[in-house]
């Protein structure tokens, strides 16, 4: 069947190349675990993974919380109905608006000559005197949020829809206050979904490359950036190590997607 030939040629075969070469000595092609072991010894690689994981944690938790609040506000916050549909449309666009144009949009906003910075300066506050730069960790986190929280809104909205009003009314009839409603009714139902989507956001940010590359010109040491530079020149000094690093990224992503799937299934039991 042509589909399987296609998938094998251009997806499975290249992926298996990465797996196979990760366990091969780059000179002799003999089987070895050296690359995998070196992965955990190489400070440069560990540092890159660590920054990638930190930025993914921060933007998935931050984007997840804000996205949840936004979705809840639009759906159950008593806002006009139109807010909900426009929010969903905007989020559909924003979660797609990534990469090079996104990087530039934030350069126009938050670079030293950017719009917001010049407004703040006019108010007598220059964030650059307080250690802020767009091109490092926190700046990149702010930029990543732009595609993180819309994805959260899109995925969590059906779960919030599934919270039945009867549950709130029932808990109120039983004398629960709003904290008790959240603690014993709403959160236990939503939590798997919230956590699952946050894990998905983690993967979303962990695999991101183009935005960081365009924003920092490859100056920030993310795992994806290291793989990108390994492609153009052997920066790690060992081709086998590059494969092992790519394999490590796939492993992290696979964990994230599996976690998301499991948690999403748990939610579906309640929300039909």
186-215 residues in contact with another protein (CB under 8 A) are 203-211, 213-214
With beta carbons less than 8 A apart as the criterion, state whether 144 and 63 touch.
yes
Q: Which is nearer to another protein, 189 or 249 (CB)?
A: 249
Q: What is the footprint of another protein within residues 77-106 (CB under 8 A)?
A: 77-79, 83, 87, 89-106
- Who contacts 249 (Cβ-Cβ below 8 Å, separation ≥6)? 206, 207, 223, 224, 227
With beta carbons less than 8 A apart as the criterion, state whether 153 and 67 touch.
yes
- Who contacts 143 (Cβ-Cβ below 8 Å, separation ≥6)? 102, 103, 106, 134, 211, 215
Rg (CA), the chain: 22
Interface with another protein: number of residues (CB under 8 A): 84
Q: How far is the CB of 121 from another protein (least distance, A)?
A: 14
The one segment of 31-39, 124-132, 187-195, 239-247 that binds another protein by CB under 8 A: 239-247
Q: Which is nearer to another protein, 80 or 131 (CB)?
A: 80
Q: Which is nearer to another protein, 110 or 189 (CB)?
A: 110
The one segment of 10-18, 34-42, 160-168, 185-193 that binds another protein by CB under 8 A: 10-18
12 scored as a contact of another protein (CB under 8 A): yes
1 scored as a contact of another protein (CB under 8 A): yes
* Interface with another protein (CB under 8 A), residue from 48, 159, 227, 263: 227
Q: What is the footprint of another protein within residues 103-162 (CB under 8 A)?
A: 103-109, 114-116, 144-147, 149, 151, 154
Q: How far is the CB of 186 from another protein (least distance, A)?
A: 13
* Interface with another protein (CB under 8 A), residue from 37, 170, 191, 231: 231
With beta carbons less than 8 A apart as the criterion, state whether 99 and 211 touch.
yes
Q: How far is the CB of 31 from another protein (least distance, A)?
A: 18
The 44-73 site mask, x for binding another protein (CB under 8 A), equals ----------------------x--xx-xx
228 scored as a contact of another protein (CB under 8 A): yes
| Strand (E) or helix (H) holding 89 | helix 81-94
- Calpha distance 240→20 (Å, rounded): 10
- Calpha distance 98→86 (Å, rounded): 20
14 scored as a contact of another protein (CB under 8 A): yes
Q: Which is nearer to another protein, 43 or 113 (CB)?
A: 113
- Who contacts 177 (Cβ-Cβ below 8 Å, separation ≥6)? none
Q: Which is nearer to another protein, 218 or 270 (CB)?
A: 218
- Calpha distance 65→71 (Å, rounded): 10
Q: How far is the CB of 25 from another protein (least distance, A)?
A: 16
Q: Which is nearer to another protein, 189 or 200 (CB)?
A: 200
Report helix, strand or coil for 95. coil
- Calpha distance 21→30 (Å, rounded): 10
- Who contacts 216 (Cβ-Cβ below 8 Å, separation ≥6)? 135, 136, 140, 225
């Amino acid at each position: 069947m042509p589909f399987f030939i296609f998938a094998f040629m251009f997806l499975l075969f290249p992926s298996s190349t990465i797996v196979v070469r990760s366990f091969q000595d780059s000179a002799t092609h003999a089987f070895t675990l050296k690359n995998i072991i070196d992965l955990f010894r190489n400070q440069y690689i560990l540092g890159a993974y660590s920054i990638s994981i930190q930025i993914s944690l921060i933007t998935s938790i931050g984007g997840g919380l804000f996205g949840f609040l936004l979705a809840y506000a639009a759906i159950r916050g008593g806002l006009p109905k139109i807010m909900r549909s426009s929010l969903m449309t905007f989020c559909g666009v924003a979660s797609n608006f990534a990469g090079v144009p996104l990087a530039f949009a934030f350069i126009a906003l938050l670079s030293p000559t950017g719009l917001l910075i010049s407004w703040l300066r006019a108010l007598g506050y220059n964030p650059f005197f307080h250690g802020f730069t767009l091109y490092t960790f926190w700046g990149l986190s702010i930029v990543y949020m732009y595609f993180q929280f819309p994805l959260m809104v899109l995925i969590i909205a059906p779960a919030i829809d599934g919270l039945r009003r009867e549950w709130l009314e029932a808990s109120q009839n039983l004398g629960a206050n709003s904290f008790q409603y959240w603690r014993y009714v709403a959160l236990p139902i939503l939590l798997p979904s919230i956590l699952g989507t946050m894990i998905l956001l983690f993967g979303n940010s962990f695999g991101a490359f183009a935005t960081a590359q365009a924003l920092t010109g490859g100056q920030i040491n993310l795992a994806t950036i290291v793989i990108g530079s390994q492609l153009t020149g052997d920066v790690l000094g060992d081709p086998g190590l590059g494969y092992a690093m790519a394999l490590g990224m796939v492993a992290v992503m696979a964990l994230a997607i599996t976690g998301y799937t499991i948690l999403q299934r748990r939610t579906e039991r309640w929300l039909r």
